[in-house]
Amino acid sequence: MPCRSSMLLVGLDIGTSSVKALAFTLTGSCVAEGRASFATVYSGSARAEQHPNDWWQASVQALRAMTERLNLQTQQVAGIGLTGQCPTFTLLDLTSGDVGPGLLYQDNRAANETEHFIQRFGALNIHQRTGQTPSPFYVLPKLLWLKAQHSDWFRPGVAAVQPRDLVAWHLTGRLATEPTHAACTLAYDLMAGNWARDWLDELDLIQLSWPELLPSSSVQGLLTAEAAAATGLPVGTPVITGAADSLCAVYGAQAMAAGVLCEVTGTSTCLHLTVMQPVAAYTVNTYPHIEPGRWCAEVGLNTTGGAIAWLSTLLGRTADDLLTAAAAAPLGAEQLFFLPHLSGGERDAPERCGAFIGLQLGHDVRHMSRAVLEGVAYAIRQRVELLGTSGNVITQLISCGGASRSALWTQIKADVLGLPTSVVTPMDTTAWGAALIVSKTLNIPVTSTALMNRNFQPVQVQTNQYQPFYRRFCRFEEFFAERN
């Protein structure tokens, strides 16, 4: 075991577009990091796929880059905490190591299977048992779709695994998952804390090897010799189960006080509110919390930072160029509106489409960029209002993740929501949250969290100006929803 004063905690985040490996001191300072990206293939109106082998190869590259920067300090790594995108998944043959297609959370092709699942078990019953509002967003409907296309994969010895699970299996040789990932499947009984095996049996999915369930704060295994050689880390390093990416971000941002809503914003956005009991409202999802005795109420959007990345590619400008251009446009973007549903709809409405509305010859990159920022903010407000109608009082927003770097975008959100908003730095609270789970599991107290908040107050004049724009945005949403 390394000397306590010099110990390092590693957070490994298998994200939507890249893997990040960060090594932190016990005072919360990041001393080394490695990153490796991978591609997503979008085809058709509802398909989003990745190659699962990329999750592992990118993890190796990111860890290797981090260890090369650490050099001799790799011996000080006390443990590796895992986190990742979800509910993305693949099928893994535990004997051969072969993998099937990797279907992203953004993939909405399983709409018919979702309806079949709802008809069989009842929407309210599904929500009550799993904590989730059934939609193609989740793993189980996609499994039903995949079974109809590739029935040969559905046999003993094949497991349904998410990116964190696959990487952990490569690192330790042990197949397992944890409650926050399991809750993203629609196959997890929230209150029982176990797989809903009766449903899996009825749906003829029980023959799959469903991963062992471990607490978030547990040692899944020790780094194998093969994984150690690939990554540059010491053999026998503890690998900690960790939690889903947005839950780790909430944990890392310490956004767990009553009334504090945590916006975890990157390619997509998750909005988490710590609550003391599961939320009954059908439109709100409930996840297990990393801390026992608490729960996370959650709503989200599939394409937020991803919308800026899309516009950046489309116009041949950098994301920073677009943010600078947006600052030069007036509030309301000269009546240009943007619906941010670019990845085949949303989890609760797969039929939703993205759109620019009101586009004219006088509009340019400034107005389009501003409209994207405002459109995302309006859509976030819709979901915040859903949380509010479920009986939760929200008094503050804490924003973290890559897309929170923009002061302009954060101020727009504060004005549209009418809420004081804080941006947490360091930005990468997801990896930091995974590292904190290492410290919790191994009983290694951190001496500081090294978090700083940059505060944004809503400007009342601008909040008032946004009101009619927000109402028009909602009418546009309703108009398109009625025609799909």
> For the segment 132-160, what is each residue's pLDDT rounded down to a tens digit?
999 999 999 999 999 999 999 999 999 99
**52 Cβ contact list (under 8 Å, min separation 6):** 90, 92, 99, 100, 101, 102, 163, 166
**Taking the CA of residue 374 as centre, how many other CA atoms within 13 Å lie in the half-sphere pointing to its CB?**
33
The radius of gyration of the chain from alpha carbons, rounded to an integer in Å, stands at: 22
Note the pLDDT of residue 267: 84
Distance separating alpha carbons of residues 273 and 158, to the nearest angstrom: 35
| Cα three-residue angle 102-107-111, rounded to 5 degrees | 125
CA distance 390 to 403: 27
| C-alpha of 106 from chain center | 11
Instruction: Compute the distance between CA of residue 335 and CA of residue 298 in angstroms, rounded to an integer.
Output: 31
Block means of pLDDT (10 residues each) for the chain, length 484 residues? 81 96 93 96 86 98 98 94 96 96 92 96 97 94 95 94 98 98 97 97 96 98 98 98 94 88 88 91 92 90 91 96 98 97 75 91 98 97 87 89 87 97 83 96 85 90 98 92 65
Domains defined for the chain, CATH in brackets: 4-247 (3.30.420.40)
* Torsion over CA: 469, 474, 475, 481 (sign): positive
Query: In the prediction, which pLDDT does 344 show?
Result: 67
CB burial of residue 423 (10 Å; 0-12, 13-18, 19+): buried
Alpha-helical segments (H) within 155-204? 163-172, 179-182, 197-202
* pLDDT at residue 428 in the model: 84
- In this prediction, residue 426 carries a pLDDT of 66
**Residues near 6 by beta carbon (within 8 Å), at least 6 away in sequence:** 73, 76
pTM: 0.86
Give the pLDDT confidence score for residue 393 in this predicted structure. 86
